[in-house]
Amino acid sequence: MKDCILAIHGGAGRLKDSQTRAPVRQDYERGLADALRAGQSILFAGGGAVDAVCAAVAVLEDNELFNAGRGAVLCSNGEVELSASVMDGNDGSVGAMAGLRRVRNPVIGARTMMGHMHGLLFGAEADARAERAGLEMTAPDYFITDRRRAQWSELRGTGAIALDHSDRDNVQGTVGAVARDAQGNLAAATSTGGLANQLPGRVGDTPIVGAGTWADNQVCAVSTTGKGDAFAQLAFARRVADLIELTGMNVPDAAAAALDDVVRVGGEGGCIVLAPDGELHQPFNTPQMLRGWITGAGQPVVGILPGEKIEIA
Ligand code: ASP
């Protein structure tokens, strides 16, 4: 039996200064800790890595502080479009959905595609499939919060795509999780509302397996956050795995090299990478990345600024 490990991110970027101090900071820390505990309870009860990453991501989707599920950013037409993907490192199966408007938890919708002949479904058909699968559906308005409406009114008509990672935005990004269960299986999942003021129909890295999400029991599990067009251009998550598998690079060097490539193509962001032996890295080249991890029966550890490790009792 292996020690269970779960790690998450809640987006890379830069929070407003006031948000990195109490009391708002505690809301982010609690949100991350709640997601870690949800995944931990599954792993601790003998559940699989796929169950754990989906549970952790679903908790972040339900938390309006993060740009996934409720509280997601708005497209230029004032509407929300959600995307998610999940991958099982044991058998390589994948599931993804994009352009969702009605399924409450996009990551659970993505999971319904695992084992299906099509790995990725888009738009109304994806919502309809989630509904047929018996998932909880909601009105599109459920996802839209006052804070996101205000952000959109500032941007609308400017043509600017407000990155979830820029100074002007109160950054709460895409969410993701990687896990190793007691059997040693790895899994990864990622979920997002995309970029604020993005064109309707835009698809970033998050629902693209190999770009935003990757898991292979022999190599690593990866989930990304950042300027998704750059991450997709590089097939980032798979690139990290290839650097480890094909060139023999160690995990931190592989993640750092891939993030350097992101900068080279004009992007920025971060990722979480978990190796089969439990080695975990959460690098980012933005000023901050919301992140955390939990091992075995331990307490959640979270961080926002570089180097932070805050244990949440
Ligand atoms: N990667 C996401 C996207 O480009 C955004 C984010 O990570 O916040 O859609």
Superfamily name with CATH number, domain 5-298: (Glycosyl)asparaginase (3.60.20.30)
Which residues does ligand 1 sit against, CB inside 6 Å? Answer: 11, 67, 164, 173-174, 192, 194-195, 204-206, 225-228
**Hey, what amino acid is at 294?**
I
Q: Which is nearest to 56 in space by CA: 24, 21, 32, 30?
A: 32
**Predicted confidence (pLDDT) at residue 130 exceeds the cutoff of 50:** yes
Of 87-91, 109-113, 170-174, 179-183, the least confident: 170-174
pLDDT of residue 14: 81
Q: Give the distance (Å) from ligand 1 centre to CA of residue 204.
A: 6
pLDDT in tens, 56-82: 999 999 999 999 999 999 999 999 999
Contact between residue 188 and residue 87 where contact means Cβ atoms under 8 Å apart: yes
Atom 1 in ligand 1: which residue has the minimum CA distance? 228
Q: Cβ neighbours of residue 252 under 8 Å, at least 6 residues apart? A: 281, 283
* Predicted confidence band of residue 23 (pLDDT cuts 50, 70, 90): confident
Q: Rounded to 5 degrees, what are φ and ψ at 248?
A: 75, 15
Mean pLDDT for 141-151 is 92
Higher pLDDT, residue 158 or 219: 219
Amino acid at 167: D
The catalytic position among 145, 158, 174, 247 is 174
Q: What is the pLDDT of residue 293?
A: 98
Q: Is the pLDDT of residue 165 over 60?
A: no
pLDDT tens digits along 260-289: 999 999 999 999 999 999 999 999 999 999
> In 183-219, where do the E strands start and end?
186-192, 213-216
Whether 158 is a known active-site residue: answer no
CA of 93 to the centre of ligand 1 (A): 23
42 membership: H or E segment, kind and range: helix 24-44
| Closest protein CA for atom 9 of ligand 1 | 194
Say how far apart CA 78 and CA 121 lie, in whole Å: 22
- Residue 15 confidence class, pLDDT cut points 50, 70, 90: confident
Q: How far is the CA of 173 from the centre of ligand 1 (A)?
A: 7
